[in-house]
Amino acid sequence: MTLLAVDDLVVRYGAIEALRGVSLHVDEGEIVGLIGANGAGKSTTMNSILGVVRPVRGTITYRGEPLLGKPPEAIIRKGIAPTMEGRRIFPSLTVEENLRLGAAIRSDRQQIQADIDRWCAFFPILGQRLQQPAGNLSGGQQQMLAVARALMSNPKLLLMDEPSLGLAPLLVAEVFRLITQLRDLGVTILLVEQNVRMTLEIADRAYLLNTGRVEFSGTPAEILQHADIEQAYLGGGKSSRPASAPMGAPLT
Ligand SMILES: Nc1ncnc2c1ncn2[C@@H]1O[C@H](COP(=O)(O)OP(=O)(O)OP(=O)(O)O)[C@@H](O)[C@H]1O
Ligand SMILES: [Mg+2]
């Protein structure tokens, strides 16, 4: 079932046309990657879905219902949760307080403690630091807190904007592993990433944005066969694996 459908979205910032007719969809249970260079329009797409940016043309529907024109709070209440670029946690609040803020829109108050326990089991480091100021966490730990806080709203659809940004390689691998585990728990994920290699390893499908347009979309295997991707995004050249190699094969 299609959870989210974006059709022919156009966004302008003054004279800059940031999105020039972007269409994409996310089916229930999928990890969908949104990849592309700096300035391609990835965050603008996310912010349009969240009601933070107002498109001049196009439609956005969530479970068949139009989202465009609705305020961000109404959109979040429908079960769409953002984790944004540069992890916006509240550093002076404790880890637990940050998690509870994520649940602020929920009405099932008695379930909240159970979910704190659940996500602390999933992210043990957060469980160990519940009463400490979130600002004391390392960058990677803050990133996990940002994801856990988004999960506290009990979302159907998680919009992740560059969750691996600024993380050391080991933590990047950890974050991507967590993303696949979340999908296995039934959370649908739209994942914006600069880390194209890792994204294509975990995504079910992906869209390649180029200066405000979808240049290519398909399964990771299809995208890797696309002529330019190796060159443009994987630092590629002749060392690329053959297009027919299985997905699990190393990309060296
Ligand atoms: N608030 C804004 N005002 C003016 N121009 C903007 C604004 N936000 C984004 N832009 C421009 O819109 C285009 C798309 O930006 P966007 O942030 O969506 O790209 P992105 O794909 O998320 O890039 P990055 O990978 O660097 O985060 C860029 O040219 C950017 O300079
Ligand atoms: Mg961005």
Identify the pLDDT of residue 51.
95
153 CB less than 6 Å from ligand 1? no
100 and 53 within one domain = no
20 and 140 within one domain = no
Identify the pLDDT of residue 105.
85
Residue of 6, 10, 13 to mutate, ligand 1, most atoms within 8 A of C-beta: 13
70 and 188 within one domain = yes
Strand 31-35 and strand 205-210: the pairing is parallel
Residue keyed to tokens 């944004």: 84
Total domains in the chain come to: 2
Identify the pLDDT of residue 230.
66
Identify the pLDDT of residue 174.
86
Q: Which domain holds residue 192?
A: 1-79+156-163+174-242
75 and 2 within one domain = yes
Report if residue 247 sits inside a domain. no
86 CB less than 6 Å from ligand 1? no
62 and 1 within one domain = yes
111 Cβ contact partners less than 8 Å away, ≥ 6 residues apart: none
Helices (H), the chain: 42-49, 72-77, 95-102, 109-122, 124-128, 139-151, 169-184, 196-202, 220-225, 227-233
Report if residue 44 sits inside a domain. yes
SS3 for 212?
Answer: coil
Name the residue with the closest Cα to ligand 1, atom 5: 13
133 and 114 within one domain = yes
| Cα–Cα distance for residue pair 18/20, rounded to 1 Å | 7
181 and 145 within one domain = no
**Which of 106, 126, 154 marks a domain boundary?**
154
Residues forming a β-bridge with 35: 193, 208
Identify the pLDDT of residue 172.
87
Report if residue 236 sits inside a domain. yes
122 and 64 within one domain = no
Cβ 120 vs Cβ 145: under 8 Å: no
42 CB less than 6 Å from ligand 1? yes
Report if residue 249 sits inside a domain. no
Distance 217 CA to ligand 1 centre (A): 21
227 Cβ contact partners less than 8 Å away, ≥ 6 residues apart: none
Ligand 1 atom with the shortest distance to the CA of 37: 25
146 and 114 within one domain = yes
187 and 69 within one domain = yes
**Which of 108, 124, 154 marks a domain boundary?**
154
Report if residue 26 sits inside a domain. yes
**Which of 154, 187, 214 marks a domain boundary?**
154
41 CB less than 6 Å from ligand 1? yes
120 and 89 within one domain = yes
39 CB less than 6 Å from ligand 1? yes
Q: Which residues of the chain have pLDDT under 50?
A: 237-252
95 and 137 within one domain = yes
Name the residue with the closest Cα to ligand 1, atom 30: 39
Report if residue 13 sits inside a domain. yes
Report if residue 168 sits inside a domain. no
Report if residue 128 sits inside a domain. yes
Distance 107 CA to ligand 2 centre (A): 32
How much is the mean pLDDT over the chain? 88
What does the pLDDT look like over 198-249, one tens digit per residue?
Answer: 999 999 999 999 999 999 999 999 988 875 676 666 655 444 444 444 444 4
What CATH number is attached to the domain comprising 233? 3.40.50.300
